[in-house]
């Protein structure tokens, strides 16, 4: 299994910070089909401003491009998992510890994925290396720990591979960027128009601190 992780929002708590912080995971056994969603849209007629940028990203795309990519992803044999943090509910003692918060959210999501899909064989987790504030070694160790906590299967850490990559070079990371953007928009702006496209692919949805939705 291949798992691609990306985030939306920030872990700041100023008046200008986002209200929510979202982590999304795209799960697939066929990365090529997901990659083709990005390739296909890039080959279509695009305005000139999109032709000169190195990658399509949710934040610099219009809703037409967002819809095309999300509709393509929704048609693949791909599952989605997400964790949403309601930042106003974060305890004061944790507000200056973004690494702990980030690792906890990712670890909770990965733990739920391992339990739901009874993972006991090779799994590759790919993370956008540009993610802010991550201590990669601590992140990798914590994710491995949560994988070992899987209660339903015996998991060998030799099965686990974690890669931190440049999103420009990885189309699946670009794809999950659109997924997490759509989920964040559903919460941050109360606009479900894009989320509805992928809702049928969402198998796990964790809402901190309201509990598990799916």
User: What tokens were used for 43?
Assistant: 């080959």
User: What tokens were used for 71?
Assistant: 């509709």
> How much is the pLDDT for 83?
96
Q: How confident is the model at residue 42 (pLDDT cuts 50, 70, 90)?
A: confident
Nearest to 103 by CA among 135, 129, 149: 135
Give pLDDT tens digits for 146-180. 888 776 666 677 889 999 998 989 999 999 999 99
3-class DSSP assignment, residue 93: helix
H-helix or E-strand spanning residue 155: none
Residue 210 pLDDT > 80: no
> How much is the pLDDT for 213?
66
Average pLDDT over residues 18-25: 96
Domain containing 11 equals 2-212
> In angstroms, rounded to a whole number, what is the distance separating the alpha carbons of residues 133 and 12?
11
Give pLDDT tens digits for 44-79. 767 767 666 778 899 989 999 999 999 999 999 999
* Cα dihedral 211→209→58→3 (10° resolution): -50
CB 45 within 8 A of CB 34: no
CB 5 within 8 A of CB 166: no
Average pLDDT over residues 189-196: 97
Ranked by mean pLDDT, the top range of 86-100, 102-116, 158-172, 188-202 is 188-202
Nearest to 198 by CA among 38, 67, 35: 67
Q: How confident is the model at residue 105 (pLDDT cuts 50, 70, 90)?
A: very high
Residue 115 pLDDT > 70: yes
> How much is the pLDDT for 110?
92
CATH number of the domain at 149, please.
3.30.420.10
> How much is the pLDDT for 153?
67
The residues pairing with 25 across neighbouring beta strands, listed in sequence order, are: 5, 81
Q: If you write DSSP's letter for every residue of 98-110 in order, what string do you get?
A: HHHHHHHHHHHHH
CB 113 within 8 A of CB 80: no
Average pLDDT over residues 15-34: 95
| Backbone torsion region of residue 101, taken as left when φ is above 0, otherwise alpha when ψ lies between -120 and 50, otherwise beta | alpha
> In angstroms, rounded to a whole number, what is the distance separating the alpha carbons of residues 80 and 94?
27
Domain count, the chain: 1
């Amino acid at each position: 299994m291949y798992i691609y992780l990306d985030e939306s929002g920030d872990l700041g708590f100023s008046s200008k910070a986002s209200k929510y912080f979202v982590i999304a995971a795209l799960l697939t056994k066929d990365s090529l089909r997901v990659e083709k969603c990005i390739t296909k849209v890039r080959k279509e007629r695009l305005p000139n401003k999109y032709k000169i940028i190195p990658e399509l990203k949710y934040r610099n795309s219009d809703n037409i491009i967002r819809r095309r990519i999300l509709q393509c992803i929704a048609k693949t044999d791909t599952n989605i998992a997400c964790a949403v943090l309601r930042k106003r509910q974060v305890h004061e003692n944790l507000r200056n510890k973004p690494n702990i918060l980030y690792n906890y959210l990712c670890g909770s999501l990965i733990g739920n994925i391992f339990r739901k899909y009874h993972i006991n064989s090779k799994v590759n987790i790919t993370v956008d290396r540009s993610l802010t504030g991550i201590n990669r070694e601590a992140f990798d160790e914590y994710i491995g720990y949560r994988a070992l906590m899987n209660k339903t299967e015996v998991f060998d850490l030799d099965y686990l591979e974690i890669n931190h990559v440049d999103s420009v070079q990885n189309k699946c990371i670009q794809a999950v960027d659109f997924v997490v953007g759509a989920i964040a928009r559903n919460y941050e702006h109360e606009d479900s128009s894009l989320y509805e496209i992928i809702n049928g692919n969402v198998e796990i949805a964790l809402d901190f601190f309201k509990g598990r939705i799916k």
